Structure 1
Amino acid sequence: MVNPTDFPEPTLVPVNGVELEVFEAGRENVGNPIVLCHGWPEHAFSWRYQVPVLAAAGYHVIVPNQRGYGNSSRPAEVTDYDIEHLTGDLVALLDHYGYEKATFVGHDWGANVVWGLTLLHPTRVDKVINLSLPYPERGETPWIEFMEQVLGGDFYFVHFNRQPGVADAVFDQNTSRFLRNLYRKNEPARAPQPGMALIDLARAEAPLGEPLMSDGELAVFVSAFESTGFTGSVNWYRNLDRNWHLLADADPIIHQPVLMIYGDRDMVAKSANLAEFVPGVEVVSLDSGHWIQQEKPEETNQAILKWLEQQAVTSRLVQRP
């Protein structure tokens, strides 16, 4: 477990019309940037096990709380959280530090943003490492419409869109309980229940499985969401169909080298045709649930460092006269 006081002190960085709360390590490694993008409902602190290891390996580690999270800006308009705004923040963050491109690492929703960034701003992305969420294929039907047809109105992506504000209010009323019940590992398998699963989770008296983190670590997440509420972060989900339209003209193929890290016990499904859209992908699967880099930090770090070193060797060989 990591003591929260060991995490870097943040700075507020103006980007793209908002301010992002950014945590940095390895500033002495200027010129070798790696940007870590958290998921939902997370925080930059979710990368606490990766930050010191990557800095020690020679990287300038940049970890933003993305818009809607922590002490970063929380715009009021739902459309301020679409993929153009979220990726625009990361481009502006590179500009702030004077970088043309960087390696981007994303987990969960952060992975979705990194996929979108690579499609919309391919010249700013050097390499991609994504955890949990594989490349989201853009089919013929907008994503929320498709999910509603297949998974029904209670599926949380759909519920967030069709009943705006309902789930946010429950999360806000039960912040500590919701996050305690959500951040678990080794949960027993159970049959799907009717109703909106995350609302039920936020109200559940007893959590399943084992705690993912210490009370002190959990307190970082609880404190952040007690301060911000959940609406800004849930607004990311409310732009999925808008994002589907915004990505219509993008080249759907990811041309950069990619490491995809799955958790074998993650409820997010693995992609059956990942290499079709990500031809340069290498896949690693860990014995983990959804919170991969927090549940299996050493294995995650080893996978990332091994792959980055392989990429560095390949790059040196290519550059030889």
Structure 2
Amino acid sequence: MIDMPPLQFAHVNGIRMGFYEAGPKTDTPPLVLCHGWPELAFSWRYQIKALSEAGIRVIAPDQRGYGATDCPEPVEAYDIEHLTGDLVGLLDHLGIDKAIFVGHDWGGFVVWQMPLRYLERVAGVVGLNTPHTNRAWADPIELLRARFGADMYIVQFQDGAHEPDRIFGSRVEQTFDFFMRKPLPRNDAPSAEPPVAGIGALPKVNLAFPQIVASYDGKLDPRQPFLSSEEMQVFVDTFTRTGFTGGINWYRNMSRNWQRSADLDHIVRVPSLMIMAENDRVLPPSAADGMEKLVPDLEKYLVRDSGHWTQQEKPDEVSAKLIEWRRRRFG
């Protein structure tokens, strides 16, 4: 297992944020690595090491509600305005003018929002698996409910009784054993549904994740895990301590985010890179089709034979592409 840099803390945007930093402080613009759900800054451990050894300054926070960072109680404290404001506050704390924001999964959604809201603080954006999309034509939760039903995990996450949080929190090791595996070969997997505007594509598979986890037996799962036992323990120990509510609260703000973005210009006006994973069932490469209309300065790169957890499944390839693109576009 790769060691992380020392954990540091910053008081930003009303919370205490834990973050990791490596590489020369003189390097600019630095890369800020933003994780998804259910993950941590630790998910970027390979990239932190590779980029810093290449002379690139890199910063990876545990985001709001995760790991070493505070977990406020109000659901509204996890809307996109807070999440992007946290990253600006982190730049302010470190005395950084502009950064390249790199985001995977939910972190990808956050970093694509950064140039829409704080263009003067953004040098570039990299989306890992998560594409930038235009604003949905209707409330995204209602669109998901209409297409996939009430059992779809994002729809379930809207439950005010926090039943999904309880299921995951009472079965932490089971939860990560289910999620952190490579997908089956592509010819064994069902195709994706057509994309929903503003949401993207989702697979024709069972998306009732809380119920799957509740009855899951890893011994019967033909998919191969990609974490070592020591790496798995980091996730299990951390989420045993924190629970899952903070991260799930990000999903509980999807309707609020949609409502409050009606007047936002969704064109991304900075150099951008979209890294896609060939076998991601939830965020397939096809979800990035047409991004060029919203991101004029866009480069795309496909990581083959990788599922959803791209920076951990294919760490060397992801790190190499980040280093190459950063050097070519920013020196």
TM-score by length of 1: 0.92
The aligned residue for residue 80 of structure 1 is 77
Structure 1 residue 300 corresponds to structure 2 residue 297: no
The aligned residue for residue 131 of structure 1 is 128
CA contact (8 A) 2:168 2:213 kept: no
The amino acid across from 1:237 in the alignment is Y
Structure 1 residue 196 corresponds to structure 2 residue 208: yes
Distance 1:190 1:35, change over 3 A: same
| Secondary structure of residue in 2 paired with 1:236 | helix
Matches within 5 A, 1:1-321: 2-3=1-2, 6-162=3-159, 164-187=161-184, 189-190=188-189, 196-206=208-218, 207-267=221-281, 268-269=283-284, 270-287=287-304, 288-312=306-330
Q: In the aligned structure 1, how far is the partner of 2:207 from the partner of 2:132?
A: 28
For structure 1, which runs of at least 5 residues remain unmatched after alignment?
314-321
| Secondary structure of residue in 2 paired with 1:95 | helix
Q: In the aligned structure 2, how far is the partner of 1:28 from the partner of 1:242?
A: 37
Q: In the aligned structure 2, how far is the partner of 1:294 from the partner of 1:107?
A: 11
The amino acid across from 2:252 in the alignment is R
For structure 2, which runs of at least 5 residues remain unmatched after alignment?
191-203
The alpha-carbon deviation at position 194 of structure 1 amounts to: 5.5
Q: In the aligned structure 1, how far is the partner of 2:217 from the partner of 2:259?
A: 40
CA contact (8 A) 2:167 2:210 kept: no
CA contact (8 A) 1:36 1:104 kept: yes
The alpha-carbon deviation at position 163 of structure 1 amounts to: 5.5
The C-alpha deviation readout for 1:210-246, integer Å capped at 9, x for no partner, is: 1111000111111110000000110000001111122
Distance 1:149 1:159, change over 3 A: same
Q: In the aligned structure 2, how far is the partner of 1:24 from the partner of 1:280?
A: 28
Q: In the aligned structure 2, how far is the partner of 1:195 from the partner of 1:263?
A: 19
The aligned residue for residue 316 of structure 1 is none
CA contact (8 A) 1:184 1:208 kept: no
Distance 1:257 1:149, change over 3 A: same
The alpha-carbon deviation at position 40 of structure 1 amounts to: 0.4
| Secondary structure of residue in 2 paired with 1:177 | helix
The C-alpha deviation readout for 1:160-194, integer Å capped at 9, x for no partner, is: 11464011100001001110111001435456566
Q: In the aligned structure 2, how far is the partner of 1:175 from the partner of 1:193?
A: 23
Q: In the aligned structure 2, how far is the partner of 1:83 from the partner of 1:151?
A: 24
Distance 1:30 1:282, change over 3 A: closer
The alpha-carbon deviation at position 202 of structure 1 amounts to: 4.5
Distance 1:51 1:194, change over 3 A: closer
Moved more, 87-96 or 109-118: 109-118
The alpha-carbon deviation at position 13 of structure 1 amounts to: 0.9
The C-alpha deviation readout for 1:107-132, integer Å capped at 9, x for no partner, is: 00000110122211111110111101
CA contact (8 A) 2:133 2:291 kept: no
The amino acid across from 1:67 in the alignment is R
CA RMSD of aligned residues (A): 1.6
Q: In the aligned structure 1, how far is the partner of 2:296 from the partner of 2:162?
A: 39
Q: In the aligned structure 2, how far is the partner of 1:31 from the partner of 1:312?
A: 8
The C-alpha deviation readout for 1:95-115, integer Å capped at 9, x for no partner, is: 001112101110000001101
Q: In the aligned structure 1, how far is the partner of 2:313 from the partner of 2:278?
A: 12
Moved more, 55-64 or 280-289: 55-64
Q: Count matched residues.
A: 310
**What is the percent sequence identity of the aligned residues?**
41
TM-score by length of 2: 0.89
| Secondary structure of residue in 2 paired with 1:185 | coil
| Secondary structure of residue in 2 paired with 1:310 | helix
The C-alpha deviation readout for 1:139-172, integer Å capped at 9, x for no partner, is: 2202111111222211111111146401110000
